[in-house]
Each structure stands twice: as structure tokens, then as C-alpha cells.
Amino acid sequence: MTQRGLYVFDWRTYDGPYNLICTPSIPIHVAALGPSARRAANLVHLPGVFADQSTLTIE
């Protein structure tokens, strides 16, 4: 996923925040995704900037 410019976060089921697993060397903007991937990405709005996060907490 990081080769495609995406940040990778993972979590343990029902246990804590999402933790950063991998960082892309060249991040991709959602506008550069194909139409179906862009539609899917636009369904989710997460707080913050991925480049500044080591964890994501969703409340």
C-alpha cells in the first residue's frame, strides 16, 4: 500500500487506537485516486493529517 502512496494504520480488535504501520515515501492525494477508490475514500473523514500522526483515535 505504501508503494501506492497510502499510509497504513492497523488496530487490534476492540483494543486501542489505530497505529501507524507504514509511511509512503511519496504520499498520494485523494484527488489522484481512480474514480471508485476516490468515492470509497470520500465516505470516511478522519481527523488530522496522516503525516503528523502515529496513532488515530476514532470516537
pLDDT cut 70: percent of the chain above it:
98
pTM comes to 0.72
pLDDT for 53 equals: 87
Kindly report the CA angle at 52 between 50 and 3, in degrees rounded to 5? 45
Please report, for the chain, the start and end positions of each structural domain, with discontinuous segments joined by +: 2-56
Residues 6+ apart with CB under 8 A from 20: 7, 8, 9, 53, 54, 55
- Greatest Cα-to-Cα distance within the chain, rounded to the nearest angstrom: 33
- Phi and psi dihedrals of 50, rounded to 5? -55, -40
pLDDT for 39 equals: 94
For 41-53, the pLDDT digits (tens) are: 899 887 778 888 8
